Amino acid sequence: MLGRCLGRGHYWHVDVLRGVLDTPHWIHTSAVTLNQPRVRIKLNPDDFPKLERENDNPYHELTLEEKRARVRTEDYDLGKLKLVNKFYAIRKGKHSFRGVVFTAKEYGSLVLGIKNFKGERVDHGLDRAIDYCMSERFKNQKRYPAPQFDAFRYGVNGARGIVVKPNCFQHVLARAVSPHTEIESFPTATQALVYCVQAGTPYTDWEALDSSLVFMSYMHLQTPILWSKYLIMYANSELPTGPLCHPDPPTDSSTVQRPKKKQPAVLEIPFVGHVPEGSDSSSGIFPLADQVEE
């Protein structure tokens, strides 16, 4: 009867709609509708890799006074050092910082408050962090050139530092140049920082980003602190000081010298700041002072 009134076509639509509305509720059942307890998965922390730094170096166990009074002369074995498997890679951070750090605190200090910063946490090894850090460096060089980190050391009164702006670097170098001055340009700020920290030593960990990170982790150095210390923002800014000359000065010191390529042999930490009484200022090697985290 309904089919005669509505027509066969319309009646078919009504019949289909009725079938949809009368669909059995078992299609939509779940653990909640069946009054069954939900399955809860318990996570065991021991099943996950530890993210703490593993280091056989007893240096971090020393007190602050012992660290200040101690000069490191023993060599360190890279094979004993295990870097964490969590890194924070930064392409664009505070004052154009580019590099890799180890902790969320360091990462926040270098990116928070920076407009359009670029960085992320990398949980899959150092190689991936380096790839992320450097992946955009050679893209759009004409329109958006990547920053170059120019660093120098062994300047007047042991001046050393890092400059990002090329024009500013020329003015700063004119103030700081001395017969023993060395200059280098780096693709990352991390390498430039290690270059300044290792002034007065024969070490060349700054030649590569991975070896620079090994040194930073081994010595427990804080990247934001070093970045604020060695970055020179303006041409008339105060210049950080350090060792007066390289431990093996070049024979021809009439012009600005590039550092010689050497294999790491002995690690000595240069003193940064005032010269304590009784220290030999000619060598440029002093007890560790403000490179230790308070």
Q: Smallest Cα–Cα separation from 288: which of 31, 29, 73, 45?
A: 73
Which amino acid is located at 291 in the chain? Q
Question: What are the pLDDT digits (tens) for 63-94?
Answer: 544 544 443 333 344 444 556 667 889 988 88
Judge contact between 59 and 267, C-beta under 8 A.
no
Mean pLDDT along residues 17-31: 47
Instruction: Please give the Cα distance from 92 to 96 (Å, whole number).
Output: 5
Q: 44: which 2 tokens?
A: 């065991």
Instruction: Please give the Cα distance from 232 to 96 (Å, whole number).
Output: 12
- What pLDDT, on a 0 to 100 scale, did the predictor assign at position 46? 52
Q: 183: which 2 tokens?
A: 């200059």
**What's the pLDDT band for 208 if we cut at 50, 70, 90?**
confident
Beta bridge partners of 241: 159
Contacts of 260 (CB under 8 A, 6+ apart): 248, 250
Judge contact between 147 and 190, C-beta under 8 A.
no
Q: Smallest Cα–Cα separation from 261: which of 154, 152, 150, 182?
A: 182
Written in H, E and C, the secondary structure of the chain is CHHHHHCHHHHHHHHHHHHHHCCCHHHHCCCCCCCCCCCCCCCCHHHCCCCCCECCCHHHHCCHHHHHHCCCCCCCCHHHCECCCCEEEEEECHHHCCEEECCHHHHHHHHCCCCCCEEEEECCCHHHHHHHHHCCCCCCCCCCCCCCEEEEECCHHHECEEECCHHHHHHHHHHHCCCCCEEEEECCHHHHHHHHHCCCCCCCHHHCHHHHHHHHHHHCCCHHHHHHHHECCCCCCCCCECCCCCCCCCCCCCCCECCCCCCCCCCCCCCCCCCCCCCCCCCCCCCCCCCCCC
In this structure, the number of other CB atoms found within 10 A of the CB of residue 184 comes to: 17
Q: pTM here? A: 0.57
Question: What are the pLDDT digits (tens) for 92-114?
Answer: 888 889 999 988 899 989 988 88
Most confident of 75-84, 207-216, 239-248: 207-216
Q: 24: which 2 tokens?
A: 């059995």
| Cα angle: 251, vertex 255, 259; to 5 degrees | 65
The full set of domain ranges for the chain reads 58-80+147-294
- What pLDDT, on a 0 to 100 scale, did the predictor assign at position 196? 92
- What pLDDT, on a 0 to 100 scale, did the predictor assign at position 132? 82
